[in-house]
Chain A
Amino acid sequence: MSDTVTIASHFEDAEQQREAGLMGMWLFLATELMLFAGLFGAFGIYRGLHGEAFAEAARHLDLPLASINTAILLTSGLTMALAERSVQAGLIVVARRWIVATVALGAVFLVIKGYEWHHEFAEGLMPLLGLPFDYDGSHPAQAELFFDFYFAMTGLHALHMLVGLGALAVLWVLGRPQPGPRADRYIRQMRITGMYWAFVDVVWVFVFTSLYLLRS
């Protein structure tokens, strides 16, 4: 056992341990991808069936705000990548600052998202929990279906963001005492969290495209 790497007792060496961790995360992301694929598949079918109604409903969403949010989330992907690079270069203090930046950007994203939801609630476009659905377009029933998807997709994405923010917070805390011999482990944890965060980013790109950009 080398003195800079902690290896769990069932692994032969550090390389095996590292590869196992990464492969596990890739598989987990494959599972996540299939989870969202079910939802996006259903959305795609309905988009085909009720194209006009869905496009009209999409025009009721706040595109400028969502575009700003997209920019914010993609930037958080950059700060996360910088955090990873810093920790690989042994700069734990810098890495922790990038984590703070990532968490801050993620939090701003959620606040803006929450504002959007509240706006839709105030407009009567939230067909949940028996709330009245007050829609002024020409296909109110199918528009309700669209908004069902809107809340399911953005809600599920926000839930994944929360999990990611939690993981980042844990990473920030773990980095506090100078890790020393645990550095290798910290790099692995950072890499795995980074993969998850990138996945959440990518899912948002699809959510944004399907819900906001298909307007005509």
Chain B
Amino acid sequence: MSEPETHYLNDGWTLRSWLLTTDHKRIAWMYFATITAFFFIGGLAALLVRLELLTPAGDMVDSDTYNKLFSAHGIVMVWFFLVPSIPATMGNFLLPLMLGARDLAFPKLNLLSWYIFTLGGLFTMTAVIAGGVDTGWTFYTPYSTLFSNSAVVLAASGVFVVGFSSILTGLNFIVTTHKMRAPGLTWMRLPLFCWANYATSLIMVLATPVLSMALLLIVLERALGIGIFDPELGGDPLLFQHLFWFYSHPAVYIMILPGMGVVSEIITCFARRPIFGYTGMVISIMAIALFGFIVWGHHMFVAGQSLYAGILFSFFTFLVAVPSAIKTLNWTATLYGGRIRFTAPMIYALSFLGLFTIGGLTGVILASLAVDIHLHDTYFVTAHFHYIMVGGMVTAYLGGLHFWWPKITGKLYSGPWSIVAALALFIGFNLTFFPQFLLGFLGMPRRYHAYPEEFQLLHVMSTLGAGVLAVGYLLPMVYFGWSLWRGKPAGDNPWDATGLEWRTTSPPPKHNFVDTPTVTGRPYDYV
């Protein structure tokens, strides 16, 4: 097997050929580099939080610094890693390939999104350096508007700016999916990865602007003295929470749907079976995106929202569990009777399946009004959403990276080491976050840096787990780096997978396909 002579990576070596590129594959790399940097910045903040929590006394950092650390962790991880993670990297790289298109519909806009993203990142990083933000990632009023003495304006502006980057990416993906599909590629022949990114894009386009407005009002309140959330004028701080969660709950699905898309591709390939219930999978993807817009009030059960609103939001939240369960059961049914190969991508995908199930089921527990009064703002919630966002999305992100790495780079990586990394992630993750369910159930609240002594054992376990988890994240950096440098050529289709992206060379040529491919049947044609 050998590499093609010319491909998108050796088409120009200058810095200019990268920074001014409109090739979606190169822009994907630029996103990859940027969000990896943010991931390690956010990870560092998490590590400091975990180290502080080793002992019951708040002795390593003072409470102000601790507030700034967990805020930095949340803000960076949510907006600068998780939201762009799969769409901006693998989505950017693969969507045109999977659709049989030569690029996204608006290549220049795609490049612009990256610049906007980086600009927003600079704002937020400046805020962190200029003294940090202590509001948590949610910027709740009136604390963020009237009381906090930290760099709220800068940080919120950064998140505001970065919102436009995800809006533009979403817009680009939607138009591309509608207008650029290869001949014969009807909607019901689309790979689930495309459907997942399509649904994510809809959320990005329709929910992000509401967050932008909420953040803009905070910035205006702090900078100009406009008091829309100021109770003294008759304003309602709770209104901010409504606006915030109108975006940020759908954003939770921005942070899981693309992962579901990735896992669907991996599981079918390594079970050698077509996906079970393709139509049901498509409907449930769209249903999750839709229901995501009507459940935001479950973040506000104890915030003084009316009981009737609470009951409705609780009901709708239970409803989201239905399409999620359909997906989980369909993946399991796909495995049934399959010829399973335990490669690294498959181990990540199976980890996703287990961790997402735990995260989802604990979500149902939290959606119950009465139970939530006990569990609200405890470590139970922290553990729940980390099971979805890290156990789900980050695991899927790494799984997808391992799955498509040979396509993206044209090189193979170390099989055994990648399996070690995938297992380290699974073990480290559970060791970190399972104890947090117990902590929360026993009553340990979130966002405190000192705690009673009886919680110490569980906190020590959690911190040890974070160490194992860190190994799981750092190892791939090593063998992926090695693979870039010394990796064996991968060939066009090392996994023997279906899908248009595997029909072109690895790495793909600049315009993706020599001849526009034609599609004649449903995806996942495995026998």
Contacts and interface: CB of A to CB of B under 8 A. Distances in A.
Interface of A: 8-10, 12, 16, 19-20, 23-24, 27-28, 30-32, 34-39, 41-42, 45-46, 49-50, 53, 127-130, 141-142, 144-145, 148-149, 151-152
Q: Which of A8, A38, A128 gathers most chain B CB within 10 Å?
A: A38
Interface string B220-244: 1000111110101111100100010
B298 to A, nearest CB: 19
Nearest to A49: B234
Contact of B233 (A36, A45, A145): A145
Contact of A31 (B179, B205, B214, B230): B205
B242 to A, nearest CB: 8
Given A31-B205, A34-B209, A152-B217, A23 B226 contact: no
A42 B243 contact: yes
Interface in B176-225: 176, 178-180, 205-210, 212-214, 217, 220, 224-225
B227 A148 contact: yes
Nearest to B107: A10
A24 B105 contact: yes
Given A28-B171, A31-B167, A49-B234, A145 B227 contact: yes
Contacts of A53: 234
Contacts of A37: 209-210
Contact of A152 (B207, B226, B230): B226
Contacts of B374: none
A24 B227 CA distance: 35
11 contacts: A24-B171, A24-B175, A35-B210, A36-B213, A37-B210, A46-B235, A49-B234, A127-B226, A141-B234, A142-B233, A144-B233
A41 B511 CA distance: 45
A27 B177 CA distance: 13
B210 A45 contact: no
B27 to A, nearest CB: 13
A142 B516 CA distance: 62
A27 B171 contact: yes
B304 to A, nearest CB: 15
A49 B228 CA distance: 13
A55 to B, nearest CB: 14
A127 B178 CA distance: 47
Which range holds the interface residue count of chain B? 35 or more
A9 B205 contact: no
| Dominant secondary structure at the B interface | helix
A39 B172 CA distance: 26
Contact of B511 (A10, A34, A45, A50): A10
A36 B210 CA distance: 8
Given A38-B243, A148-B228, 7 more contacts: A10-B511, A20-B105, A23-B175, A27-B171, A31-B206, A129-B224, A152-B217
A32 B168 CA distance: 12
A184 B507 CA distance: 36
B102 interface: yes
Interface string B150-183: 0000000000000000010001101110111000
A31 B107 contact: no
A24 B180 CA distance: 13
Contact of A10 (B102, B109, B212, B236): B102
B212 A35 contact: yes
B239 A9 contact: no
B468 interface: no
A145 B224 contact: no
B213 A38 contact: yes
Contacts of B235: 46, 145
A149 B230 CA distance: 13
B239 A35 contact: no
Q: Which of A12, A53, A130, A149 gathers most chain B CB within 10 Å?
A: A12
B209 A27 contact: no
Contacts of A151: 226
A38 B210 contact: yes
B271 interface: no
A212 B101 CA distance: 50
B315 interface: no
A32 B209 contact: yes
Nearest to A12: B516
Given A31-B206, A31-B209, A38-B210, A127 B225 contact: yes
B205 A27 contact: yes
Contacts of B179: 16, 19-20, 23
Contact of A30 (B206, B227, B230): B206
B235 to A, nearest CB: 6
B145 to A, nearest CB: 12
